[in-house]
């Protein structure tokens, strides 16, 4: 493992932040104080973080309805995110977007997206911007196994190849689209789809940060070097329901318990880096504590933050009208 220490600590912190953010949201959602739909990324942290570890603010990502993890991995602050999810004026979208629409274009985060398959076309365009503006950046579309069946996603694979733009298509395959298994809904397979649209296919274990980090590095390098797009297929699992409130009757009773016990990317990470002598347990403990405080503070602040003002309703529909 040839990974710089600061990447390791940053990535762990990022994964831990996502985990705590999501676990806390799960608790807070149950209080009834969080409005709207909330889709948790818990369990999938290594994917977003392993990919984004290769990106800077110049690079662009587009996310999904399950977007909190990608946002945090791309550097969006948890204070602004939490406030947004609570519908506060201090939210990163001023309370007008909510969980499904968190975005920060200054960080290259082109938005969570309430529309399945909404992101891949946008990423073709962001990649085109990077190519045209010659800024050396890449654009990454995260999308789920379910989204891999949307026409907009499939068209985008072809378009990115035809244009030979620096795009990476990251299929986060958690085996479900809502309550339907990928084994039912995804005919064929992602590998042949990549070939069918003329791009290389990479595959990795999404429970293992190092597997993601390494493979994503290759896929992103391929794109960044001007060789056109690549597909990265990440195998992972979500630990909660499709959205908060989902009783998950379609999953085996012990499925999530097993995942938590055996495939926790944070536990995996700790075992590996401590085992290899790259970081100490205490380094990670320090991060854990810091993150815990950060999330607590974010929730407290969000709950206290002022609500949007009436005049906000009519603001920002247009730049000018």
Partner 1 sequence: MTKKSFRQAINEALRQEMQRDPRVILMGEDVAGGRGGTSGVKDAWGGVLGVTKGLLTEFGEDRVLDTPISEASYIGAAAGAAATGLRPVAELMFVDFVGCCLDQIMNQAAKFRYMFGGKARTPLVIRAMYGAGFNAAAQHSQALYPLFTHIPGLKVVVPSSPYEAKGLLIEAIRDDDPVIFLENKVMYDDEEDVPDDPYTIPFGEANLTREGDDVTIVAFGRMVNFANQAADRLEKDGISCTVIDPRTTSPLDAATILDCVNETGRLVIVDESSPRCNMATDVAALVAEEAFDALKAPIRRVTPPHTPVPFATVLEKLYVPDVEKIEAAVRSVAAYRVKEEA
Ligand X SMILES: Cc1ncc(C[n+]2csc(CCOP(=O)(O)OP(=O)(O)O)c2C)c(N)n1
Q: What is the DSSP string of 69-95?
A: HHHHHTT--HHHHHHHHTT-TTSTTTT
Lookup: tokens for 298:
């974010």
**With CB under 6 A as the contact rule, which of the stretches 52-60, 156-164, 175-183, 245-253 interacts with ligand X?**
175-183
Binding partner of residue 166 among Mg ion, ligand X, partner 1, none, CB cut-off 5 to 8 Å per kind: none
Residue 299 beta carbon to Mg ion: minimum distance, rounded to whole angstroms: 27
Cβ(177)–Cβ(145) below 8 Å = yes
Residue 217 beta carbon to its own copies: minimum distance, rounded to whole angstroms: 24
Which of 1, 23, 6 lies closest to 266, judged by CA?
23
- Rounded Cα distance between 37 and 224, Å, is 35
Binding partner of residue 30 among Mg ion, ligand X, partner 1, none, CB cut-off 5 to 8 Å per kind: none
Q: Judged by CB under 6 A, how many residues of this single chain contact ligand X?
A: 17
**Residues in contact with 232: Cβ distance below 8 Å, sequence separation at least 6, in sequence order:** 51, 168, 169, 170, 171, 202, 203, 204, 215, 216, 219
> Between 13 and 65, whose beta carbon lies closer to ligand X?
65
Q: Indicate whether 216 belongs to the interface with ligand X (CB under 6 A).
A: no
Among 23, 155, 255, 283, binds its own copies (CB under 8 A): 155
Site for its own copies in 190-219 (CB under 8 A): 190-199
Binding partner of residue 273 among ligand X, its own copies, partner 1, none, CB cut-off 5 to 8 Å per kind: none
Angle (nearest 5°) at CA 300 between 295 and 302: 90
Q: Indicate whether 179 belongs to the interface with ligand X (CB under 6 A).
A: no
- Rounded Cα distance between 84 and 302, Å, is 8
Q: Indicate whether 144 belongs to the interface with Mg ion (CB under 5 A).
A: yes
Site for ligand X in 144-163 (CB under 6 A): 144-147
């Amino acid at each position: 493992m040839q990974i710089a220490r600061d990447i390791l600590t940053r990535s762990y912190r990022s994964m831990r932040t996502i985990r705590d953010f999501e676990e806390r949201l799960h608790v807070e959602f149950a209080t009834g104080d969080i409005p709207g739909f909330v889709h948790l990324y818990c369990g999938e942290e290594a994917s977003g973080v392993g990919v984004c570890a290769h990106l800077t603010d110049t690079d662009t990502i587009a996310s999904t309805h399950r977007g909190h993890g990608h946002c945090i991995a791309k550097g969006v602050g948890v204070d602004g995110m939490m406030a947004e999810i609570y519908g506060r004026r201090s939210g990163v979208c001023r309370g007008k977007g909510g969980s499904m629409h968190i975005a920060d274009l200054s960080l290259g985060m082109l938005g969570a997206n309430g529309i399945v398959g909404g992101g891949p076309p946008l990423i073709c365009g962001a990649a085109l911007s990077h190519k045209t503006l010659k800024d050396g950046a890449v654009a990454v579309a995260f999308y789920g196994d379910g989204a891999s069946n949307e026409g907009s996603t499939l068209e985008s694979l072809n378009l990115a190849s035809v244009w030979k733009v620096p795009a990476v298509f990251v299929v986060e395959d958690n085996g479900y689209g809502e309550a339907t298994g990928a084994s039912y809904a995804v005919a064929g397979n992602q590998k042949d789809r990549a070939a069918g649209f003329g791009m290389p296919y990479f595959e990795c274990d999404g429970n293992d940060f190092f597997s993601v980090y390494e493979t994503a590095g290759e896929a992103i390098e391929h794109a960044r070097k001007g060789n056109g797009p690549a597909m990265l297929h990440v195998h992972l699992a979500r630990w909660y329901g499709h959205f908060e409130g989902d009783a998950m009757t379609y999953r085996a009773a012990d499925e999530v318990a097993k995942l938590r016990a055996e495939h926790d990317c944070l536990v995996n990470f700790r075992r590996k880096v401590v085992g290899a002598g790259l970081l100490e347990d205490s380094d990670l403990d320090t991060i854990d504590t810091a993150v815990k405080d950060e999330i607590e503070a974010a929730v407290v602040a969000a709950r206290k933050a002022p609500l949007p003002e009436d005049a906000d309703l009519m603001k920002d529909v247009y730049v000018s009208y």
